[in-house]
Amino acid sequence: MNILVIEDEILIQQSLKLLLQKKGATVTCCANGKNAITMIKNQNFDKIVCDLMLQDISGFDVIEESKHKYSKEEIQRKFIIITAYCSEQVTKQAQNYGCNILKKPFNDIQKALDLMLLAT
Amino acid sequence: MELINSQPELKHGLHFYNLSNENDLKFNNKFIQQNTIPNHKVISDKYFSFIEKKFRKQNFTSSILKDIHHKFLNSKSLDQYLENLFKINYFKSFKTIHLIIHEKGKVSANHLEFKSYAKTCTQKDVSEFNKLFFSIKKSKNRSFGQSTLKGLNFEILGTIIAREFSLPKYNVIFLLSKDDFLPQSQSDIDTFNIVTNSIPEHLNHILNFEYNQKLIERIQTCIQYGMFSVAVSKRNKIYYQCKNHHNFNNSINIQYKDFDIVINENKDRPFDDVDIFHKERITLLGDLLNTLRHELSNPLFGLKLSTELMLIDSLDNNQTMFIQEIHNGIVRCNDILHSFSTLYNHSETKISIDIVKLVDEVFTLTKSATRQIKKIVKFDNNCEKIKLISNETWIVQILFNLIINSAQELLNSNTIKPQIIVEISKQPKHITLKVIDNGPAVSQQNIKTIFNAFYTTKNKGTGLGLYISKNLAKKLSGDLRYINQQNKQGAIFELSLPLEITDEHISY
């Protein structure tokens, strides 16, 4: 299972990486949106865990750019949005794309990891 | 405080327009009804002359126009005007009247939808409003189909006939729909044009009137709680006078038309600048806490995840213990942030609340004020399973206020073995929470006034705590009251809340 974690808070990024690796996944990390877009273009990922508040662009922009490569259905399956800001607007936008959205901090870390490792 | 003796120019100060009941269309140029302000009804000369001009300009032998104008004169509000329009035959042939009003400068527009049996009001974004407004303006035809509405968030069915008006303070779209997809004929459009000629003036008048009403209400509140007390009289007859108005030597005297206005410093004003700043500080604090919470939660989450990872890998018992303590500390930080954020949350959502847990949370929040005080939570067995569906923030606010009040009274009066008990009990359709302390009771003469705004016995109190709490309780369809135990020691405040509030209950 090939997972891309896009998160600019290093502790969260690295902890998620280790936790997912322990469960057998191959994890690549990325801290900003622009690099993430390049990575998505050049490599194939089974799952993409994407934070919304990135330093340069928004997580939704990353999803938009991935539309060049993935179909709408694939985006729905592959992307998991994680965010600390869960306003109505954000949930609406996420619903438009149809992807799962996880609120930080995770109440149940095991459930969150299971969602990320769910084979599509 | 220095009062400046000058003659400021009051522009539209005292013209309160009222849409009075004119059964016959006779005009009396100097028609004034004398009353005390703010019910002062004045129909100015200007308004009469404009109506006369309108009559002469348009073909008023047309009964429709007479009818529309008549309905306008019989309406006291926008809702009434539109309801009245539906009674006219021309409008009866349509299913819905849409009125979309944008106050210039605001970020949203009001969309009123009138059917003969119901009305709805929704908010629309100003950019959507503007798109529709300009597409209607650009078109020379009055009839539009669904293509005009494509991509916009208006839920309007069928072909529509529409007109846009640009009033001084507002932009308005007036739309009629039969809720079918048949095209409008040219004669339909011509009639529509004639019929809607007087509508912009009507709307302008009503909207300005409602705007002025709101302004008057705000001015009244300012005067009531403000730094000045005002008295308005005309030829020695008093029109309006603040309750605590006195005549002082250094007052401002203004003459406007036939009115004499006296403005004084309100020496009985029950609060001072400190309280205003305090209120502002609290709002700022709320926003700051929200930002802080978001900024802190991310790094805290990172810390929590990494300690959890370290715990998995840790082999040394000592190390494990330390890492566990770090983890516990982080969890505590998160809980504290969460508790504070619910306290200052501006959202008005209803959720399912575990009332016992909520009371515990409030006790944690008030820890610093209640350190030396014994705190007890009492509840019957069936209360543990209660899930109250209500607004958590407001309940927390009310309990917080009551507990802080009790704590302050207990400490100020040096009560021996001070204690605060929160007693939760379940009734068939509601629950009651009693905050009981063993400090001094509220004195008999104060009982009637403790829930009043700006009433306080403390030197630095705002006097708003109980007033706000009682209002919040009412908003939740419940009540907050003080239980008078006559001469017994101790104070009991009882908050009662219905077990479930539906949308009909919440009133704003």
Residues of chain A in contact with residue B334, where contact means CB-CB under 8 angstroms, are 105
pLDDT digits (tens, 9 = 90+) for B189-201: 877 887 787 788 8
Kindly state whether B314 is in contact with chain A, defined as any CB-CB distance less than 8 angstroms. Answer: no
Kindly state whether B37 is in contact with chain A, defined as any CB-CB distance less than 8 angstroms. Answer: no
The three-class DSSP label of residue B263 is strand
pLDDT digits (tens, 9 = 90+) for B51-76: 556 555 554 446 777 777 777 777 77
Task: Report the mean per-residue pLDDT for chain B.
Answer: 75
Instruction: Please report the pLDDT score of residue B3 as a whole number.
Output: 26
Q: How far apart are CA A105 and CA A87, in angstroms?
A: 15
B302: closest CA of chain A, how far (Å): 4
C-beta atoms surrounding B6 within 10 Å:
8
Instruction: Please report the pLDDT score of residue A104 as a whole number.
Output: 84
* Of residues A11, A16, A19, nearest to B303 (C-beta): A11
Q: Which of B95, B93, B101 is nearest to B199 (CA)?
A: B101
Kindly state whether A85 is in contact with chain B, defined as any CB-CB distance less than 8 angstroms. Answer: yes
Q: In the structure, what pLDDT confidence band is assigned to residue B385 with cuts at 50, 70 and 90?
A: low
Taking an 8 Å cut-off on Cβ atoms, the answer to whether A11 and B306 are in contact is yes
Kindly state whether B304 is in contact with chain A, defined as any CB-CB distance less than 8 angstroms. Answer: yes
Q: In the structure, what pLDDT confidence band is assigned to residue A54 with cuts at 50, 70 and 90?
A: confident
Q: How far apart are CA B355 and CA B376, in angstroms?
A: 15
Q: Which of B269, B274, B273, B284 is nearest to B454 (CA)?
A: B269
Contact by Cβ (8 Å): A87, A103: no
Q: How far apart are CA B303 and CA B301, in angstroms?
A: 5
* Of residues B294, B300, B309, nearest to A18 (C-beta): B309
The answer for B 326-385 residues in CB contact with A (under 8 A) is 334
Instruction: Please report the pLDDT score of residue B402 as a whole number.
Output: 93
B301: closest CA of chain A, how far (Å): 6
Instruction: Kindly state the average pLDDT of the residues B23-35.
Output: 30
Kindly state whether A112 is in contact with chain B, defined as any CB-CB distance less than 8 angstroms. Answer: no
Taking an 8 Å cut-off on Cβ atoms, the answer to whether B297 and A105 are in contact is yes
Q: How far apart are CA B168 and CA B186, in angstroms?
A: 30
pLDDT at B505 exceeding the cut of 50 = no
A27: closest CA of chain B, how far (Å): 16
Best-predicted range by mean pLDDT (B39-53, B105-119, B329-343): B105-119
Kindly state whether A18 is in contact with chain B, defined as any CB-CB distance less than 8 angstroms. Answer: yes
Kindly state whether A111 is in contact with chain B, defined as any CB-CB distance less than 8 angstroms. Answer: no
A65: closest CA of chain B, how far (Å): 23
Q: Name the residue in chain B with its Cα closest to that of A13.
A: B302
The answer for A 32-61 residues in CB contact with B (under 8 A) is none
Secondary structure of B389-426 as H, E, C letters: EECHHHHHHHHHHHHHHHHHHHHHCCCCCCEEEEEEEE
Number of A–B residue contacts, CB under 8 Å: 41
Contact by Cβ (8 Å): B478, B497: yes
Residues of chain B in contact with residue A12, where contact means CB-CB under 8 angstroms, are 298, 301-302, 305
Kindly state whether A16 is in contact with chain B, defined as any CB-CB distance less than 8 angstroms. Answer: yes
Instruction: Please report the pLDDT score of residue B114 as a whole number.
Output: 84
Compare B453 and A57 and report the one with higher pLDDT.
A57
List CB contacts of B113: < 8 A, sequence separation 6 or more: B96, B97, B98, B119, B120, B121, B122
Instruction: Kindly state the average pLDDT of the residues B8-31.
Output: 31
pLDDT digits (tens, 9 = 90+) for B297-351: 888 999 998 998 888 887 888 888 889 989 989 988 887 777 666 555 555 566 7
Q: In the structure, what pLDDT confidence band is assigned to residue B186 with cuts at 50, 70 and 90?
A: confident
pLDDT digits (tens, 9 = 90+) for B231-257: 888 887 887 777 666 666 667 788 888
pLDDT digits (tens, 9 = 90+) for A62-114: 999 999 999 988 898 999 999 887 777 778 888 888 888 888 888 788 888 88
Q: Is the ipTM of this complex over 0.90?
A: no
Tokens found for residue B168: 């001084």
Instruction: Please report the pLDDT score of residue A79 as a whole number.
Output: 92
Instruction: Please report the pLDDT score of residue A31 as a whole number.
Output: 92
Kindly state whether B408 is in contact with chain A, defined as any CB-CB distance less than 8 angstroms. Answer: no
Best-predicted range by mean pLDDT (A81-90, B291-300, B487-496): B487-496
Taking an 8 Å cut-off on Cβ atoms, the answer to whether B305 and A19 are in contact is yes
Question: pTM for the complete prediction?
Answer: 0.39
Instruction: Please report the pLDDT score of residue B160 as a whole number.
Output: 85
Instruction: Please report the pLDDT score of residue B384 as a whole number.
Output: 63
